[in-house]
Structure formats: structure tokens, C-alpha cells
């Protein structure tokens, strides 16, 4: 099966190399994060930094960057539905395979989120693109902030805060939306609320990238190795976990 979850990124001035480079850096950081996670929780190598709140923030920043860039890329694809279906399929492969090798459980990880987001964009993109980019970017940034704590049981802030009832949280099938019970567990979890809005924000930002309106430096290569990594992120994501687990198993077991 030909997988095209990575699509070419180019504008009037040529390929947007900076996006490839940022995406490459983000996936490298994600690999390091997962390696530390496996060391800490699977192989008993205690890493104090893993329990620091700021480490989770850094994880969200790099994952959010990856999701945002994926939103930008949708402006360039001619078949987001197919790309989304392929990404979601690969996410399901990970969901079924991972428990055979580790104690981890992955329910609606980043590939599931990207797959669903791409398919939604593919189905409704012609309507989404009618919204002025500045308005769409601002609106989705607001929605992402509003739904940021969905997995913690509420959305909103201040007087606009709404707590999900326990009956809704215990339904079980609402976990892709971020509405989860207290017993829900997933080592890689990127629900639609808030991450789909981060993806959509990227798609609106993609208008300026595709039109060639970004600074010229964005379209010039700065670090070719990072750009090369950024063009094969889907395969790195698929293969890095079994490689990490096999390597650590040889070392520690």
C-alpha cells in the first residue's frame, strides 16, 4: 500500500524547506520522548524529569507543532480523504500491535487524530477554505484554548466553564472527543478536543504558505538532514517504537 501521509510542501518560491526542517526536529524530539517513556515505565530506569510538569508542556509543544504543520499540508494535498484513511489505518495497526510487545495501550493516538482530521478536511475543505484565513486562525486558536481541558473533565474557563457529567464521561465511546472516565488509560492520546482545532488552525495558516506570502527564508534549505527526516516522519513514527523496545530489551533484559 502506498502511504502518502507526508505530502510535498511547496509555494510560489519553491518547497517550504523550513516546514520540513521543523517537522524533522519535532519527530526527533518525539522519538526521544518515547525512549525516555519506555525507559521509565517499561524498564524501571527512573527519570525524575519525567514527573516534572514542564516536561509534559514541552511534549505538547512539539506534538502541537507536528499537528499544526499537518494542517498546513492539507492545503497542498489533492486527496485528503485518502491520506487521512491511510493515517488512521496505520494508527489502528499501532493500537493492535503495541499490546503484544509492551504494557502500553494506545487509544486514539496522534495518527488516529491526524487521520480523522485529514478526512474531515477532505470532506468539508471547500467550505472551510471560504472562511477568511485570519478569522479561521483566530477562531480555532480560541476553540483550542476553550477545549484544552476536555480530557480533565471540563471545557471553558471562568464563568464559561462547563463540567462534563459523570454519565457522559463513563459512556466509554466518547474518548475520541476527549470525554473520558477516570479509569481511561492511553500512553499516546490526542483527542479531537482540543487537537483538531490546532490542526484546523494550521490549515488556515497554510493559505499564506501556499500563496508564497511567507518570508523568503521559509522556502530556502537551512539543514538538509533535518529536512530529509521531515519528509519521512510517518515511517519514523511507525518504526521507532519497536526499534526502541527491541534495543532496550537487549540492554536491560
* Domains: count for the chain: 1
In a domain, 3, yes or no: no
> For position 2, what pLDDT does the model report?
38
In a domain, 6, yes or no: no
Determine the structural domain holding residue 93 and report its residue range.
12-252
Q: Is 251 exposed, middle or buried (0-12, 13-18, 19+ CB in 10 A)?
A: exposed
Residue 48's H or E segment, with its range, is none
In a domain, 237, yes or no: yes
Q: How far apart (Å, rounded) are the C-alpha atoms in residues 168 and 65?
A: 30
Q: How far apart (Å, rounded) are the C-alpha atoms in residues 193 and 144?
A: 7
> For position 4, what pLDDT does the model report?
41
In a domain, 195, yes or no: yes
Residue 115's H or E segment, with its range, is helix 110-128
> For position 253, what pLDDT does the model report?
67
Q: 11, 75 in Cβ contact below 8 A?
A: no
> For position 11, what pLDDT does the model report?
42
In a domain, 103, yes or no: yes
Q: How far apart (Å, rounded) are the C-alpha atoms in residues 25 and 228?
A: 10
Task: Split the chain (253 residues) into runs of 10 and give each run's mean pLDDT.
Answer: 42 70 92 86 79 78 92 92 95 87 83 96 94 97 96 91 92 92 88 97 94 88 91 89 88 79
Q: How far apart (Å, rounded) are the C-alpha atoms in residues 243 and 81?
A: 30
Contacts of 168-173 spanning 24+ positions with Cβ under 8 A: none
CA angle 163, 164, 167 (to 5 degrees): 140
> For position 102, what pLDDT does the model report?
74
Q: What pTM does this model have?
A: 0.87
In a domain, 96, yes or no: yes
Say how many C-beta atoms besides its own lie within 10 A of residue 168's C-beta: 13
Scored b (16 or more CB within 10 A) or e, 60-72 reads eebbbbbbbbbbb
Task: List the grid coordinates of 243.
Answer: 526499534
In a domain, 79, yes or no: yes
> For position 10, what pLDDT does the model report?
46
In a domain, 109, yes or no: yes
Amino acid at each position: 500500500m502506498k502511504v502518502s501521509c507526508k505530502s510535498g510542501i511547496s509555494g510560489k518560491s519553491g518547497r517550504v524547506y523550513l516546514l520540513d526542517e521543523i517537522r524533522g526536529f519535532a519527530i526527533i524530539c518525539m522519538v526521544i520522548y518515547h525512549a525516555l517513556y519506555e525507559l521509565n515505565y517499561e524498564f524501571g530506569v527512573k527519570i525524575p524529569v519525567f514527573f516534572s510538569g514542564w516536561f509534559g508542556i514541552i511534549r505538547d509543544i512539539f506534538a502541537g507543532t507536528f499537528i499544526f504543520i499537518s494542517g498546513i499540508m492539507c492545503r497542498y494535498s489533492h486527496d485528503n480523504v485518502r491520506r487521512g484513511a491511510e493515517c488512521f489505518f496505520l494508527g489502528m495497526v499501532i493500537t493492535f500491535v503495541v499490546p503484544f510487545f509492551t504494557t502500553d495501550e494506545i487509544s486514539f493516538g496522534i495518527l488516529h487524530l491526524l487521520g480523522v482530521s485529514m478526512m474531515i478536511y477532505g470532506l468539508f475543505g471547500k467550505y472551510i477554505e471560504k472562511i477568511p484565513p485570519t478569522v479561521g486562525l483566530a477562531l480555532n486558536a480560541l476553540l483550542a484554548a476553550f477545549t484544552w481541558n476536555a480530557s480533565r473533565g471540563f471545557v471553558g474557563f471562568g464563568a464559561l466553564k462547563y463540567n462534563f457529567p459523570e454519565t457522559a464521561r463513563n459512556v466509554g465511546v466518547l474518548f475520541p472527543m476527549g470525554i473520558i472516565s477516570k479509569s481511561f488509560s492511553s500512553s499516546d492520546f490526542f483527542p479531537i478536543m482540543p487537537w483538531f482545532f490546532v490542526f484546523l488552525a494550521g490549515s488556515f495558516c497554510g493559505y499564506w504558505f501556499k500563496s508564497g506570502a511567507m518570508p523568503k527564508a521559509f522556502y530556502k534549505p537551512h539543514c538538509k538532514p533535518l529536512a530529509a527526516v521531515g519528509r519521512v516522519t510517518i515511517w519514523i513514527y511507525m518504526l521507532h517504537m519497536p526499534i526502541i523496545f527491541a534495543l532496550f530489551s537487549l540492554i536491560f533484559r
